[in-house]
Amino acid sequence: MADISANFLGIKSPNPFWLASAPPTDKQTNVLRAFEAGWGGVVWKTLGSQVKNVSSRYSAVDYHGSRVMGFNNIELISDRPLDINLKEIKECIRLFPDRAMVVSLMADNNKESWHELIKKVEDTGAHGFELNFGCPHGMTERGMGAAVGQDPHIAKMVVEWVMEKATIPVITKLTPNVHSVVPTGRAVVEAGTNGLSLINTIQSVTGIDLDTLVPNPYVAGKSVFGGYCGPAVKPIALKFLTTISQNEVTRRVPVSGIGGVSTWKDAVEFMLRGASNVQVCTAVMKHGFRIIEDMCEGMNNWMDEKGYKTIYDFIGKSVNNITHWEDLDINYHHIAKINQDNCIHCGLCYIACEDTSHQAINLDYGNPYNNYSVKDDDCVGCNLCKLVCPVDNCITMEEKRVAPEYMNWIDFQKKGMPLNDH
Q: C-alpha angle 46/48/49, rounded to 5°?
A: 140
| Euclidean distance between CA atoms 12 and 3, whole angstroms | 13
| Euclidean distance between CA atoms 259 and 241, whole angstroms | 10
- Cα torsion angle, 276, 277, 282, 283, sign: positive
- Can you give the three-state secondary structure of 180-214, one letter per residue? CCHHHHHHHHHHCCCEEEECCCEEECCCECCCCCC
Judge whether 20 and 26 are in contact, CB under 8 Å: no
DSSP string, 267-314: HHHHHHTTEEEEEE-HHHHHH-TTHHHHHHHHHHHHHHHHT-SBGGGT
Query: Among all residues, which ones are annotated catalytic?
Result: 135
Give which of 195, 229, 267, 194 is closest to 74, Cα–Cα.
229
Give which of 180, 185, 212 is closest to 131, Cα–Cα.
185
Give which of 280, 201, 311 is closest to 37, Cα–Cα.
280
Cis ω before 199 (30° cut-off from 0):
yes
Give the number of other CB atoms < 10 A from CB of residue 310: 14
How far is residue 334 from each of residues 135, 275, 337, 342, 409, measured CA to CA in Å? 43, 31, 10, 20, 18
Distance between start and end Cα atoms, the chain: 49
> H or E element: which one contains 88?
helix 82-95
How far is residue 257 from each of residues 20, 173, 260, 274, 396, measured CA to CA in Å? 10, 10, 10, 8, 32
Give the number of other CB atoms < 10 A from CB of residue 243: 17
